[in-house]
Amino acid sequence: MATQAIQRDDAPAASAGSVSAEQLDRLTRRLAETAEHYDRSGEFPRANFDLLASEGLIGLTVPRDLGGRGAGLGEAIRVLAAVAKGEPSTALILFMTYHYHATPARARNWPQAIYERLARDAVAGRGLIGGLRVEPELGTPVRGGLPATVARRTADGWAISGTKIYSTGSTGLDWFSVWAKTDETEPRVGNFLVRADSAGIDIEPVWDHLGMRATVSHAVHFADTPTPLDHAVDIRRPDQWAAGAGDPSLAIWNALAISTIYDGVARAARDWLRAYLNDRVPTNLGASLATLPRVQEKFGEIETLLQVNRTLIRDAAARYDAGDPPSAVEVNNIKYLTTGNAIRAVEIGLELTGNPGISRKNPLERHYRDVLCSRIHSPQTDTILIAAGRAALGN
């Protein structure tokens, strides 16, 4: 098995107060050491979050006046890229917490005391939060429809009942943001903040997927789970959740974070492949595989795909931070292109390695399973391309 080298992807110089490139390189290496373990066990990567907490990175996007670093999208992308290159399930769970603290129309519009509690928890290395939105019958609410999960008014607040599936981070989160409808005559829909240790919650360990196994995206069942009245942090009439009614920054953060995480998987695969090709010296060749023009050509294709990804992601993040954000159509097109490039980059590695590439003893097989999971994240390909086509056609 080739020694896995970590290549620094000529990251831009860190600005004052930002996370150093050396710290990020060290973080990638530490996380990579146990990535295989978490893939095989499918358990929540608790030690990884303990490490992130010790590095002061859970509260990266929390505003400075609440003790956080107040990082923008570009800085968050740098950290997520390093984490994903080491262990991508950790990056996906971490992104959800970053997202809540970084998008103004989301958590910062919650009741101030509630938001400040979560913010200070994150700064202290706790307070992981995730959105529970997908249901067995509804699927993802991105495609419309009302959730079956119901929030019923009680004398003390709300009682929530229903089932959520594909609940990323389930067993390791501190807070669930549950997408539910009220039991009112004219139902409202939105996010109810629920402590993960509340009564009436049962986590069913059903997550047994191709890749990204440490996301522990299990089913979460709520049975009259209580939450205070003011923890209905953002509920609206269904029509107010229509396309375009929300904060456009949500789409930007989502698309660029997903792009970054799976690009990180492809870069980890690229690093392993480089070491393998340089170390492998067939007896009939007398030189490493890396000296063959055909191998050099295909490795050059990988580098080109990843260069395109880096350029697209960084440019869009820089525009957002500079106050000139790309549109939702633009960033979703980036998500479509970069995840496709990431998949293709790992596939080329499999073409070059043959049987060793799909052996469980080599990480390339794991990277391939992980990168394929990029296809299922919302918005999916049909939604992205229809929106792009409509925009271009003026519809």
**What separation in angstroms does the CA of 340 have from each of 322, 360, 372?**
27, 24, 9
| For residues 317-323, average pLDDT | 96
Rounded to whole angstroms, the Cα distance separating 97 from 130 reads 7
Residue 203 — pLDDT band, cuts 50, 70, 90?
A: very high
pLDDT tens, 358-376? 999 999 999 999 999 999 9
> What tens digit of pLDDT does each residue of 204-254 get?
999 999 999 999 999 999 999 999 999 999 888 888 776 545 577 889 999
Query: Which residues, listed in sequence order, are joined to residue 289 by a DSSP beta bridge?
Result: none
Quick one: pLDDT band at residue 284, thresholds 50, 70, 90?
A: confident
Taking phi first (over 0 means left), then psi (-120 to 50 degrees means alpha), and beta for anything else, what does residue 391 get? alpha
Q: How confident is the model at residue 110 (pLDDT cuts 50, 70, 90)?
A: confident
Residue 62 scores a pLDDT above 60: yes
116, with CB counted inside 10 A (0-12, 13-18, 19+), is: middle
Hey, what domains does the chain have and what are their CATH numbers? 21-126 (1.10.540.10), 130-238 (2.40.110.10), 248-393 (1.20.140.10)
Task: State how far the Cα of 94 lies from the Cα of 392, in Å rounded to an integer.
Answer: 34
What is the widest separation between alpha-carbon atoms in the chain?
Answer: 79
> How high is the mean pLDDT of the chain?
92
pLDDT for the residue 2: 46
- Checking if the pLDDT of 6 tops 70, the result is no
Is residue 66 pLDDT above 50, yes or no?
yes
pLDDT in tens, 123-168: 999 999 999 999 998 877 777 778 999 999 999 999 999 999 999 9
Output the DSSP codes for 170-235.
Answer: GGG-SEEEEEEEE-SSS--EEEEEEETT-TTEEEE-----SS-GGG--EEEEEEEEEEEGGGEEEE
> Tens digits of per-residue pLDDT, 11-61?
444 454 689 999 999 999 999 999 999 999 999 999 999 999 999 999 999
- The answer, yes or no, to whether residue 4 has pLDDT greater than 70, is no
- Mean pLDDT along residues 108-130: 91
pLDDT at 3 over 50: no
Residues in CB range of 392: below 8 A, 6 or more apart: none
pLDDT score for 42: 97
Q: How many residues does the chain have?
A: 395
